[in-house]
Amino acid sequence: MPNIIEHTIRTTQIKESELDESERLLLQSAKEATDRSYAPYSNFRVGVALLMSNGEIITGSNQENCAYPSGLCAERTALFYAKSKYPDCAIDTIIITARDTNGEFTPTPISPCGSCRQVMLETEMRQSKNIKIILYGTEYITIIHSAKDLLPLSFDNLFPEK
């Protein structure tokens, strides 16, 4: 008999008005980051804002390229920049926003791709601290308490403990 794997994702759904002041500031930064997206092929603009443990906010946006897959997602753009600028600083929160092909913010939250999920998970492992993931939609916001919840069958056991 095959093994059955069940996984429950721990999420919370809230309205924008329920965000605290720092999260509202972070959301505004993520929304503004969508304006810096380079998405001439998909016209789907993604913006991300990270809150670092030192209080700094790092933003990123998706950057497409006609030589697909040479572009980069907004999440990895921000995560890689944050860890190169502040290598010893933990990432506390990430907010992900998107504008559809009509330029409107998506009514329901979008989820990061598998590559971004893996990078988030490995970032959590490196910093020994969960990252609060906030997925923005105009109708509701989803809060995920760890990247592990987004990627239950991840590559987290490939490397031995040091």
Active-site residue list: 75
- Is the CB of residue 134 less than 8 Å from the CB of residue 71? no
Angle between helices 114-127 and 74-85 (to 10 degrees): 20
How far is residue 133 CA from its own chain's centroid? 6
Q: Residue 20 CB: number of other CB atoms within 10 A?
A: 8
Distances (CA, A) of 40 to 36, 70, 76, 132, 149: 12, 14, 19, 30, 32
- Is the CB of residue 61 less than 8 Å from the CB of residue 38? yes
